[in-house]
Structure 1
Amino acid sequence: MNKIEVSQKYQIPIKILNEYESWGLCDAVKIVMGQWQYDDTDLERLSTIMTLHNIGFENKEIEHYMRLLLEVNDSQQTRIDFLTQKRKAKLALIHQQEKQLEKIDYMCHEIKNKSKEVL
């Protein structure tokens, strides 16, 4: 499949396909008649890339992760560590947002209490 077919069939933005191609992560030349041809391996990689995009990875982080994934030596622990770091950062953000929600709830509670006092 070419880039447009992959984009339409799998709902992958052309921008992401362009990034993937620019990283040069393929083992063999996959250009036929001037267009990149995507195979099942590419689609599996793109699925991983889309997942990483969806969970908030930046482009450089995705490229780094994909290079680790494709290394000849075993990078399993390095990838786990990388994902664990991202998870910790997400949890810290969630905790920060929970504290903000608590403050909002407190302020609403205070407003309601003051309005009861006026009555």
Structure 2
Amino acid sequence: MFEYAIYFLDCKTTTTIVASCQSYEVSWNNHCYYLDGSGGNCTAGYSRATNAVLNCISSQFVGKTYRSTISNNCCIWTADTYECYRLTSNCNSAGPFKAGPNSVGCTNEQKHNSMQLTFCGSV
């Protein structure tokens, strides 16, 4: 049996500067974050972000969409070793997300499919 931990950040905003983000992105602490079915790859100027950041901003993905590619798996590939979050609303289908990612259903996963749902943040 595996043990797992989701590392939590203090989710307070640390800057008054607001990043100018695309409509599919969430702005937090002067960075932009998005979800995409990009198989662990992020667009130039972005890298995979952590489970801790996703925990802080997950509810802000309501009404957002995939950046460009619909995923083929609902567990979210982050910068961490294990996937601990899952998209249950509109997973693997088009349309705005009706709910943000949550920690139910993906515990210590390491799914790296070609269109794996990926969490990216600006660097």
**Pair in the same fold by TM > 0.5:** no
TM-score normalized by structure 1? 0.19
Task: Provide TM-score, normalisation by structure 2.
Answer: 0.19
Say which structure, 1 or 2, has more relative contact order (CA 8 Å, 6+ apart).
2
Task: Pick the structure with greater CA Rg.
Answer: 1
Structure having the larger proportion of residues in strand? 2
- Relative to its length, the structure with more helix (as a share) is 1
